[in-house]
Amino acid sequence: DTGVSQDPRHKITKRGQNVTFRCDPISEHNRLYWYRQTLGQGPEFLTYFQNEAQLEKSRLLSDRFSAERPKGSFSTLEIQRTEQGDSAMYLCASSGSGTVNTEAFFGQGTRLTVV
């Protein structure tokens, strides 16, 4: 396993379209996170899964955003009716199940541009 994998790396879409991103975590990790990063800012937390259960959601996650993690493996993040303000880098991360060494390992991200 080579780490967290995200697909696609880049996505350009027209305003109002729906987009879906995929994340494949490190195989032995049961925790999976989605973050969003805009220029000049640090990553901002969106949501967190432990196995297939979505345990935390940020206020940033409007009703246009939905995330799933069926069977506790890969995850998808869908944005409906995209807006220009959704343009950002979407980062996925995963971490192990212990109570120590819970550092999250990030994928390379999906760069979304809404035109």
Partner 1 sequence: DQQVKQNSPSLSVQEGRISILNCDYTNSMFDYFLWYKKYPAEGPTFLISISSIKDKNEDGRFTVFLNKSAKHLSLHIVPSQPGDSAVYFCAASALGAGSYQLTFGKGTKLSVIP
Choice between 20 and 50, CB closer to partner 1: 50
Which pair of tokens denotes residue 68? 């799933």
Judged by CB under 8 A, how many residues of this single chain contact partner 1?
Answer: 31
Report the nearest approach of partner 1 to the CB of residue 106 (Å): 4
Residue type, 7: D
For residues 112 and 38, what is the distance between their CA atoms, to the nearest angstrom?
Answer: 10
Q: Are 87 and 113 in contact (CB under 8 A)?
A: yes
Q: Are 13 and 113 in contact (CB under 8 A)?
A: yes
Q: Decide if residue 65 touches partner 1 (CB under 8 A).
A: no
Q: Decide if residue 44 touches partner 1 (CB under 8 A).
A: yes
Question: Residue 23: exposed, middle, or buried by beta-carbon count in 10 A (0-12, 13-18, 19+)?
Answer: buried
Q: Decide if residue 48 touches partner 1 (CB under 8 A).
A: yes
Choice between 12 and 83, CB closer to partner 1: 12
Q: Which residues bind partner 1 (CB under 8 A)?
A: 4, 6, 31, 33, 35, 40-45, 48, 50, 55-56, 58, 91, 93, 95, 99-109, 111
